[in-house]
Amino acid sequence: MALSLLLLCLLALSALAYVLARGKAFKSAGGDIRLLHSLPGYYGWNGALTVALPSLVVLVLWLGIQPAVIDNSVASMISDHAAGESNVGLVMSDVRRIADGLDLAVESGAMTEDYAGSIHADLTDVRGRLGSLGVALGSEVTQEKMRAAQAYRSMTATGNWMRTGVVLLLAFVGLAISYRRADKDFRARNFVEQVVKGILISAALIAILTTVGIVFSLIFNTVEFFKLYPATDFFFGTTWTPSFGGGSDLGILPLMWATLYISFIALAVAVPVGLFAAIYLSEYAGSTVRSVAKPLLEVLAGIPTIVYGLFALLTVGPLLVEAFGEGGILGLGWMKGGTAVMTAGLVMGIMLIPFVSSLSDDIINAVPQAMRDGSLGLGATHSETVKQVILPAALPGIVGAILLAASRAIGETMIVVLGAGAAARLSLNPFDAMTTVTAKIVSQLTGDADFASPEALVAFALGMTLFVITLGLNIFALYIVRKYREQYD
Amino acid sequence: MTDTSLAPASSTPGSRSRSLLELDPHTKKRNAAEARFRVYGIVAIGIGLFFLVALLYSILSNGLTAFYQTSVTLEVPLVQTEIDAAEKSVVKTSKYRDMIAAVLVQKMEQAGVATSMKSKELLQILSAGAPGTLRDHVLSHPEQIGTTATFDFLASSRVDGYLKGRVTRAALAEDKNLSAAHLDIIDQLVEKGIVEKGFNWNFIFGSDASDSRPEQAGIGVSMIGSLFMMLVVLVLSLPIGVAASIYLEEFAPKNRWTDLIEVNISNLAAVPSIVFGILGLSAFIQFAHLPQSAPLVGGLVLTLMTLPTIIISTRASLKSVPPSIRDAALGIGASKMQSVFHHVLPLAMPGILTGTIIGLAQALGETAPLLLIGMVGFIASEFPDGVFDGFLAPNSAMPAQIYEWAKRADPAFYERAWGGIIILLVFLMIMNIVAIILRRRFERRW
Amino acid sequence: MSSFSGLARATDPIDQNKATAMENVKIAAEKVQVFYGETHAIKDVSIDIRARTVTAFIGPSGCGKSTFLRCLNRMNDTIDICRVEGRIAIDNEDIYDPKVDPVQLRAKVGMVFQKPNPFPKSIYDNIAYGPRIHGLVRRKSELDDIVASSLQKAGLWEEVKDRLDSPGTGLSGGQQQRLCIARAIAVSPEVILMDEPCSALDPIATAKVEELIDELRENYTIVIVTHSMQQAARVSQRTAFFHLGNLVEVGDTQDIFTNPVDKRTQDYITGRFG
């Protein structure tokens, strides 16, 4: 039975359970709603949930597990000889494609089910026949692959039948149980609420699952990478010259250097501007200035990073070249092309201004008014109050905000991809083009490399490094900010 | 009374007593420092606003031209025999090209524009896609064969750039396709009204075009891609986010587990988006074998990215509902669950929706994860057929399309990229305005 | 005019004449009006505050006594919507004169707030803050002296002399309030304004602060806003009763409490409202 049909069946059964359970409970109370423990709707929901939940859970698990099980047992059919020419994964994807092709052929009536099951690759031009149906097969279809594909199909078919059977059985059992339980004394509301609570909890767990997913996807591939490329060379190598032909140097240091350099420039722009803007807005500005300037600054935060990337590539870069490039206005000749550490850093700084200013604004506002009064009451000027009382009091929070901004800068991708350049370089000149960790993650994974080469896998190691650094910064920063908030709560 | 005691009180060192009306030099210095400090603040805000203006100026000045496109108006007689001959030939569009060339030469003669150029050379002023346009029209309107149809063929991107001031005559010296002689012709054709600029609907609703035809490129297809992605994000992140927030805010006991979840969520909100891209690549594509470049996968990745934002804002709006409301419901015998779903949640809804819209706006502009799941690097030229295809067929998305254009070699695509940004920002602006209106309209102060 | 004003003007004959005429008035307020936006918070208040006396402002909450107090060192300037009219003179100088710098004024008129508000710095730095910003000292030893003497005057020296480097926020509530008083004294003001200084303290700490106020009276003009009539009776020599933004009655504390002229004052001190 097709999946959609099965789902429809479940829906219908749930609806049926709702009606039946509600009706029976109502009847058991002699039609008097006051005698019921819960509102009639709860009995209905109790029925519907008892039918739908277990069967859906089993269905989802089944969908996840069945392909893996079948893959495994089919893969064991493939001899080492066949796998020897490439790897098992590639053979398996061929097998799957043949199986899909046969499915399509049967569906469109080009083959009968029996024929598809018994077709012999050595005797028939399977590739040609499937090709005429629009299924392109990469390599020649050997009899071994054909047998595997046929086994794959038959196992899938059996699995699907069993799946339908089990799921429907569960649904009917659920129906029976809920019908039997639907009685005026049954605490339907409590039951339904427990189930709802379970759903809420699983939603909250998705956050955890995401983190686990991130960690696993990074670790798994990073370990693969370190099997192919020594970790010490990766962490301490000073050259980055990937070549997909092999023999690459994949040292992270030049990338790390550019990342930190750009982040430093970005913070050098964003922190003073953002901090002074926040101080002015929260301590000096009248309500009209505040109500205009604050949202305007925050517009900068709402602009997607791709826009900043383009701004860096097409506006800021050329402008900087005009000033600092060869034959530029300043006649310095420091800059060779528009993409440079300075370009990316400057634009990233602009992006971070509202981030720093709104975080600092919150933090400065959290300093109690009593502190200001105390200082002003002693005859301090406003700026003395800010510099000597408010900022020291807010310092931990502001440090936290700056760390969060730094973590943003380190993880920022689009601006550096477009604005920083593509060559990895260890240089002190901020007008040189360099490339960063994030930019290389993008370039190593958007190429057509297969996931088995160190040149592609290195992206996961880079990602892992990035994740660990930003996570450390975030946890530390959030801890500081939280501690700071508690101080004044 | 001690009032009579007149002993001097100023015994502490450094005490100065003088008239308040005179400013002592130290105070003057301090006031100057105060004024300087204030100026720093104003300068900082000035810098911030200057950058905003510079950014908007460069977007608008570079992007607005994308909404206008130069076209050449030609009347092409659709002759049955010519069309039959064209359809029989191997390279079908070449015959159509000849038809257009003939019309163009004729039209120029009529208009009195003299040239020594060969027709093939002359055709460089038209888009390379012009023959295709003609052929598509003929095939879809066979009833018009035998008549003369009027076409607005797109001019080539160089011509378009010349009329928009992007391409100068000096720059053309290097160009092998177009020469200054072409531009003389263009100038005369513009005078005769044969070459005109018109509003570029194709840019908004059309599909991307290949590297050599920037004049045909449009953002419509990737807009659809973004739309399907946003559907996925909305349908998944709103219910999951709200459910998770309700649990954490209303039901969760205070223990290590819930602490862990909370720390987790605030950290996820700060994880670089590229890391979510890596997650999407390995979880959805490498592991779950979902199709590459599909809006469904993009939507899933963006959902995971948006969830923390939505959870944080939803919890804030749940928190802002005063406890007295919960107590009132519990006090008349409602269960905890009922008090939450009947009272707290509806009251928090405007805040939740506002947060969701802002989260969606963020997701709409996000680019980095889309690069990793393969939504760039190809030409998104076909509209999906049907809803199913919309989710699963390879497509681009607005920000990915902008990135794609920014990476292409022909500078004519830069104009498209800026124009795409204008469209993207318009969407973001609308979403934010809706969020602000929602907040203003329904915000309750307790 | 008292000799607080020092030598600079002792030679000024006009000033001296005025001083004798005004007897011993430190602060003179005439027809003071205060507006918060549209709200008329203080209506037509005129009062003379005598030097080296403790003057208590009493009245029900919201009567404007704190607002008026904050006018005396222009702390209301920090509130955007607040507007003050009328004349307030200290030593016969209008403190709302455009030439007056509120910073200098506040050095002369110190203030202690309702809730103890030590800065999140060490005890030493809390006290040293005022002298430092006003540039009162040239050497570290001078600063040490000021810190020590201020703490001594505030009766806190014995309790904290061994831990001057520990944070001021670590002290108990009563100690914190005395620290704030010491902090105010350190800039050697002539007037100290106290806005309900004991409302956040327990009875024992309150008693200590009241004792301190009584000692400070020798050298400073003190204005204290208080909720508690008992406290007013205990610490003050003069009492002013505010009601709904009006100054209802002002006189010697004893007279006010035993023999009030106005019906409203009588009602308030007998506990009919408030």
Instruction: Express each pLDDT in C86-125 by its tens digit.
Output: 999 998 889 998 888 888 899 899 999 998 999 888 999 9
The answer to whether residue A198 is domain-embedded is no
Q: How much is the pLDDT for A224?
A: 87
C75 interfacial to chain A (CB closer than 8 Å): yes
The answer to whether residue A456 is domain-embedded is yes
Asked if residue A251 and residue A153 are part of one domain, the reply reads: no
Domains of chain C: 24-114+189-269 (3.40.50.300)
Q: Which residues partner with C89 through β-bridges? A: C28, C94
When pLDDT is averaged across residues B153-172 and rounded to a whole number, the result is 81
**Shortest CA distance from A299: residue in chain B:** B52
Q: How much is the pLDDT for B441?
A: 84
Q: Cα B96 to the chain's mean position, in Å? A: 37
In which band, very low, low, confident or very high, does the pLDDT at B14 lie, cut at 50, 70 and 90? very low
pLDDT, one tens digit per residue, over A365-395 is: 888 888 999 999 998 999 999 999 999 888 8
Closest CA to C173 of C151, C205, C196, C150: C205
C238-243 vs C54-58, strand pairing mode: parallel
**Shortest CA distance from B247: residue in chain A:** A200
B148-154 vs A249-250, strand pairing mode: unpaired
Q: How far is CA B219 from CA B62, B66, B158, in A?
A: 16, 11, 20
When pLDDT is averaged across residues B236-243 and rounded to a whole number, the result is 94
The answer to whether residue A201 is domain-embedded is no
Q: How far is CA B170 from CA A159, B116, B120, C217, in A?
A: 70, 22, 23, 89
Residue type, B30: R
Chain A residues lying within 8 Å of C90, measured CB to CB = none
Fold of B220-442: MetI-like fold (1.10.3720)
Q: Tell me what the pLDDT averaged over chain B comes to.
A: 85
What are the boundaries of each domain within chain B? 67-199, 220-442
Domain end residue (candidates: A159, A186, A213): A186
pLDDT, one tens digit per residue, over A186-244 is: 888 888 889 999 999 999 888 888 989 999 989 988 998 998 888 888 999 888 888 76
Q: How much is the pLDDT for C20?
A: 44
ipTM of the shown complex: 0.89
In which band, very low, low, confident or very high, does the pLDDT at B303 lie, cut at 50, 70 and 90? very high
pLDDT, one tens digit per residue, over B163-176 is: 888 877 777 767 77
The answer to whether residue A217 is domain-embedded is no
Q: How much is the pLDDT for B128?
A: 82
Q: Cα C137 to the chain's mean position, in Å? A: 24
When pLDDT is averaged across residues B296-319 and rounded to a whole number, the result is 93
Q: Encoding tokens for residue B30?
A: 């301090």
Asked if residue A245 and residue A177 are part of one domain, the reply reads: no
Rounded to whole angstroms, the Cα distance separating A176 from A192 reads: 17
- For chains B and C, count residue pairs whose Cβ atoms are closer than 8 Å: 84
The answer to whether residue A221 is domain-embedded is no
Domain end residue (candidates: A122, A155, A186): A186
Name the neighbours of B, counting chains with at least 3 Cβ pairs within 8 A: A, C
Lowest-confidence region among A34-38, A449-453, B108-112, B341-345? A449-453
When pLDDT is averaged across residues A133-147 and rounded to a whole number, the result is 70
Asked if residue A250 and residue A180 are part of one domain, the reply reads: no
Return the number of other C-beta atoms located less than 10 Å from residue B409's C-beta.
8
Name the neighbours of C, counting chains with at least 3 Cβ pairs within 8 A: A, B
Q: What angle do CA A425, A431, A435 make, to 5 degrees?
A: 35
Name which of B8, B12, B20 is nearest C104 (Cβ-Cβ).
B20
Q: Which distant-in-sequence residues (6+ apart) come within 8 Å of B237 by Cβ?
A: B303, B306, B307, B310, B356, B359
User: Residue C243, SS3?
Assistant: strand
pLDDT, one tens digit per residue, over A112-136 is: 777 777 777 666 677 777 766 666 6
Name which of B3, B15, B21 is nearest C50 (Cβ-Cβ).
B3
pTM for the model stands at 0.84
C8 interfacial to chain B (CB closer than 8 Å): yes
Q: Encoding tokens for residue A216?
A: 């696993």
| B371 half-sphere exposure, CB direction, 13 A CA radius | 27
The answer to whether residue A199 is domain-embedded is no
Q: How much is the pLDDT for B13?
A: 40
Number of domains in chain A: 2
Please give the sequence-ordered ranges of beta strands (E in DSSP) within chain C, or none if there are none: 25-36, 39-50, 54-58, 82-90, 93-94, 109-112, 191-195, 221-225, 238-243, 246-252
Rounded to whole angstroms, the Cα distance separating B163 from B160 reads: 5
Q: How much is the pLDDT for A87?
A: 61
The answer to whether residue A212 is domain-embedded is no
Asked if residue A254 and residue A394 are part of one domain, the reply reads: yes
Name which of B14, B20, B24 is nearest C100 (Cβ-Cβ).
B20
Q: Which residues partner with C191 through β-bridges? A: C109, C221
The answer to whether residue A218 is domain-embedded is no
Q: Cα B193 to the chain's mean position, in Å? A: 34
Which CATH number covers residue A293? 1.10.3720.10
- Kindly give the parts of chain C with pLDDT less than 50: 1-22
Q: How much is the pLDDT for A90?
A: 67
Asked if residue A257 and residue A182 are part of one domain, the reply reads: no
Asked if residue A263 and residue A147 are part of one domain, the reply reads: no
Residue of C50, C97, C104 best to disrupt the B interface, most CBs of B under 10 A? C104
User: Would you say C127 and C182 are in contact if contact means Cβ atoms under 8 Å apart?
Assistant: yes
Q: Using CB atoms and an 8 Å cut-off, which of residues 355-414 of chain B contact chain A?
A: 361, 364-368, 371-372, 374, 376-377, 399, 402-403, 406, 414
Asked if residue A252 and residue A178 are part of one domain, the reply reads: no
Q: How much is the pLDDT for B291?
A: 82
Q: Is the Cβ pair B3, C188 closer than 8 Å? A: no
Name the neighbours of A, counting chains with at least 3 Cβ pairs within 8 A: B, C
Residue B7 confidence (pLDDT) above 80? no
Q: How much is the pLDDT for B12?
A: 40
User: Residue C250, SS3?
Assistant: strand
A286 interfacial to chain C (CB closer than 8 Å): yes
Q: How much is the pLDDT for B11?
A: 39
Expressed as residue numbers, the domain containing A104 is: 3-186
Q: Which distant-in-sequence residues (6+ apart) come within 8 Å of B188 by Cβ?
A: B111, B113
Q: Using CB atoms and an 8 Å cut-off, which of residues 348-377 of chain A contact chain C?
A: 368, 370-377
pLDDT, one tens digit per residue, over A59-107 is: 988 887 887 788 778 877 776 655 555 566 667 777 777 777 777 777 7
CA–CA min distance A95, chain B (Å): 15
